[in-house]
Amino acid sequence: MAPRSHTDSFTRAIIVTLKSRFVGKSTSQISEILGISPRTIDAIFSRACLRGFEPNGPTLKVLPEHLEDAPRSGRPRKQEAIHEPTVDKVRRDRYGREKSCADIAGDLSLYGYDVSPTTVWRVLKAAGYKKTKPTRKPGLTNYYYYYYISIRVLY
């Protein structure tokens, strides 16, 4: 089965206009012009009619509500609402990467956003942050430097 392609609102407006009585093109003619299947053209036109488009009206009036996308099923994502507060929490922190995702999720819960640390991690990953830990460069402290020198002198 081929993947479904999404027709934008401009293409839908062209389909509705061409199929109206003012232009009077048939479904097969519109299909040849736009390269869209006849079944899709009929579905777009019938949806526009159900939403208030009058194909036989005295004037051609195509409104955005005639052509808008149908609401999608499923649980809406929480990430859009918490995207900015999450990234701001990281940016406002003095040491940037020293806060864990659990800390940020706890801070966000104080502001009414109940999200898991995993969701915080997904948002930060989408914003371009990488998972790193603060590291300290290895090196000799003064104590170990003198200890190292004293051993070399003895042996």
| 4 within a domain of the structure (yes/no) | no
**Counting Cβ atoms within 10 Å, is residue 54 exposed (0-12), middle (13-18) or buried (19+)?**
middle
Q: Are residues 23 and 62 in the same domain?
A: yes
Q: Are residues 29 and 60 in the same domain?
A: yes
Residue spans of the chain under pLDDT 50: 1
In a domain, 133, yes or no: no
> What is the domain count for the chain?
2
Same domain, yes or no: 89 and 54: no
Q: Residue 92's domain spans which residues?
A: 79-126
56 Cβ contact partners less than 8 Å away, ≥ 6 residues apart = 21
Contact 56, 21 (CB under 8 A): yes
Q: Is residue 151 in a domain? A: no
**Is this structure's pTM higher than 0.75?**
no
Tokens 């093109």 belong to residue: 25
19 and 63 belong to one structural domain: yes
